[in-house]
Amino acid sequence: MPFVYSRTIRFQDTDAAGVVYFANVLSICHEAYEASLAAAGIDLKTFFSGSEIAVPIVHASVDFFKPMFCGDLLAVHLHTTQTKASEFEIHYRLFGDSNLEKALSQAVTRHVCIEVKTRSRYSLPNFMHEWLHHWADNQTAAASPLTD
């Protein structure tokens, strides 16, 4: 079961071509990530201010299959996969309200846990493991030996 985030496309998301500006699709995915963290009881203000550890994004990619318009209601489906002791990926599929068969867009973000002071890799803390487990796509996870 993925985490599902509902999101209406806003005027601000669009550009002069009349559809969502490409980079904003990744921002909408990041909102889904934030919502999934909050649903796991993680305090977003503390988490994203990153005082001791942080999990910056090291890679992102996104595919666009169909344009999205102002007022469209999206369902963002989110899956997690731990790829190393200090690293995980999030996979997103964005569906229109009326069609859950064919995604409008899909994206991936890869995150690495670091100690802020040294900026070196750091094993993911327990509260992140719980969040990762909850939304894990098991088959993908099984294929990844958790070593750095």
Our finding on whether 64 is near a copy of itself (CB under 8 A) is yes
Can you tell me which of 4, 6, 39, 69 binds a copy of itself, judged by CB under 8 A? 69
Residue 40 contacts a copy of itself per CB under 8 A: no
Is the torsion defined by CA of 125, 50, 36, 100 positive or negative?
A: negative
61 binds a copy of itself (CB under 8 A): yes
Nearest to 92 by CA among 75, 72, 112: 75
Going 82 to 83 to 84 to 89, the CA torsion angle's sign is negative
The reply to whether 18 sits near a copy of itself by the rule CB under 8 A is: yes
By the rule CB under 8 A, 50 interacts with a copy of itself: yes
Amino acid at position 25, single letter: V
Among 4, 6, 52, 63, the residue binding a copy of itself under the rule CB under 8 A is: 63
